[in-house]
Amino acid sequence: MKGTTKLLNPGPVTLTDRVRKAFDAEDVCHREQEFADLVKRVMGKLARVYPEADGAYVPVLLTGSGTAAVEAMLGSLTPRDGKTLVVSNGVYGERAAAILEAQGKAFTMLKSASWLDGIDLAGAEAALAAGGYTHVFTVHHETTTGRLNDVDAIGALCKKHGVPLLLDAVSSFGGERIRFDEWNLEACAATANKCLHGVPGICFALVRESAFESKKTGSSSVYLDLFRYRQEQKNGFSPFTQSVQAMFALQEALRELADGGGWEKRHAHYRTLTAHVMSGLAEMGIEILLESPKAYSSILTSYHLPPNMKYEALHDTLKQKGFVIYAGQGKFSGSIFRIAVMGDLGRGDVDRLLGEIRVLREAR
Ligand SMILES: *Cc1c(COP(=O)(O)O)cnc(C)c1O
């Protein structure tokens, strides 16, 4: 039956019925006016998710997963002879560096000592004071651990030194606060199927419009060139085939977000669910990975696997009960598990999840 599995991985999310129905839409050609009109409506709604961005920032919609948006943002907006400071404390910061490497662009990798640490603010301050950077890149919500990075601090440094910030907001857009002017944000990359609760297939960058006027594309990619998309999407059209059904679903997901009171209400909902997960697991003696509950986003938390519990056993048992949890990546694989609360998920679902984990704990 549809909708009986609850996805607790960081996207794709469990769809609401409303979004699922929208996906089952009329067949439309992406070169017809009605599709262009749909795209323009979606662009308008995306621009208004954060009202303070509306007017100064424009969404550019691509077909692809979140990484496509990050790759397009870095490829198009960093100049070919520029240099980016990549401030990283996890898988997604490292992925951005790999993207710049593949694009043959200069960058400095500023890695925290461990993925358990916050981003290196002192290192960033020193690097920016020394100069020579055309952009700073960091990850807003580092999904590797669930840490909400201190972008207020990095953004303030960008503002102070006059260096534009490029942000991976793939797992935070629609669920956490984003400050545009204060962070000197040139663009952020995001996706339909995380906090926005759409289906996978569409990603986007929200870009300061003046970036398109004041410079030319740095892209060596034909497919992932934001400048070319922006030019054609002014009229709702795109250079290449878009994921038509996913666009209908995103429109409905954005309506649902607005009907529910916008990102701040969704954030509060996530916060409540996450606090419930965290306290329920703490009662069972399952400890968080990071130093404090405050280090986490509202969206995803990470836990040490108890000594007598294998990830596969936990995952497989919960899956049979209709819950898909998420493993650790890279050096955390096999030692942690993660729980995200995006999508169609309520307090009763979390109660059921905790009940199942309790049964497993007591069976040991
Ligand atoms: C999910 C995610 C991405 C993109 O992953 P895709 O699998 O390409 O959608 C990028 N950055 C962060 C922080 C993410 O959580």
> To test ligand 1's pocket by mutation, which of 168, 172, 243 has the most ligand atoms within 8 angstroms of CB?
168
User: What's the pLDDT score for residue 363?
Assistant: 82
User: What's the pLDDT score for residue 153?
Assistant: 98
Sign of CA dihedral 168, 173, 179, 185: positive
Indicate the SS3 state at residue 197.
coil
CA of 228 to the centre of ligand 1 (A): 23
Task: Please state whether the peptide bond connecting residue 12 to the residue before it is cis, i.e. omega within 30 degrees of 0.
Answer: yes
Buried b (16+ CB within 10 A) or exposed e, 63-84: bbbbbbbbbbbbbbbbeeebbb
Binned at pLDDT 50, 70 and 90, residue 26 comes out as confident
* Cross-strand partners of 168: 139, 189
User: What's the pLDDT score for residue 281?
Assistant: 98
> To test ligand 1's pocket by mutation, which of 62, 145, 171 has the most ligand atoms within 8 angstroms of CB?
171
User: What's the pLDDT score for residue 1?
Assistant: 57
**Pocket residues for ligand 1 (CB within 6 Å)?**
10-11, 65-67, 70, 92, 139, 143, 168, 170-171, 191
CA of 56 to the centre of ligand 1 (A): 25
Protein residue with least CA distance to atom 9, ligand 1: 66
User: What's the pLDDT score for residue 308?
Assistant: 86
> To test ligand 1's pocket by mutation, which of 137, 191, 193 has the most ligand atoms within 8 angstroms of CB?
191
User: What's the pLDDT score for residue 3?
Assistant: 65
User: What's the pLDDT score for residue 25?
Assistant: 85
User: Token pair of 18, please?
Assistant: 């409303």
45-72: per-residue pLDDT in tens? Answer: 999 999 999 899 999 999 999 999 999 9
CA of 197 to the centre of ligand 1 (A): 14
Atom number in ligand 1 closest to CA 90: 13
Q: What gap in Å lies between CA 26 and CA 203, rounded to an integer? A: 21
Mean pLDDT of 310-318: 96
Protein residue with least CA distance to atom 6, ligand 1: 66
Indicate the SS3 state at residue 184.
coil
User: What's the pLDDT score for residue 310?
Assistant: 93
Q: Burial, 125: exposed, middle or buried (Cβ in 10 Å; 0-12, 13-18, 19+)?
A: middle
Binned at pLDDT 50, 70 and 90, residue 261 comes out as very high
**Average pLDDT value for the chain:** 96
CA of 162 to the centre of ligand 1 (A): 28
User: What's the pLDDT score for residue 4?
Assistant: 85
Protein residue with least CA distance to atom 2, ligand 1: 170
Atom number in ligand 1 closest to CA 11: 1
Return all residues near 51 (Cβ < 8 A) that are at least 6 apart.
Answer: none
User: What's the pLDDT score for residue 362?
Assistant: 87
Residue 39 has pLDDT above 80, yes or no: yes
Its pTM stands at 0.98
68-102: per-residue pLDDT in tens? Answer: 999 999 999 999 999 999 999 999 999 999 999 99
User: What's the pLDDT score for residue 354?
Assistant: 98
DSSP state of 3: T
Q: What gap in Å lies between CA 292 and CA 353, rounded to an integer? A: 23
Residue 167 has pLDDT above 70, yes or no: yes
Mean pLDDT of 194-213: 97
Query: Which whole-number Å values give the CA distances from 168 to 70, 87, 131, 137, 241, in the listed order?
Result: 6, 11, 23, 8, 24
Binned at pLDDT 50, 70 and 90, residue 201 comes out as very high
Indicate the SS3 state at residue 284.
coil
Indicate the SS3 state at residue 163.
coil
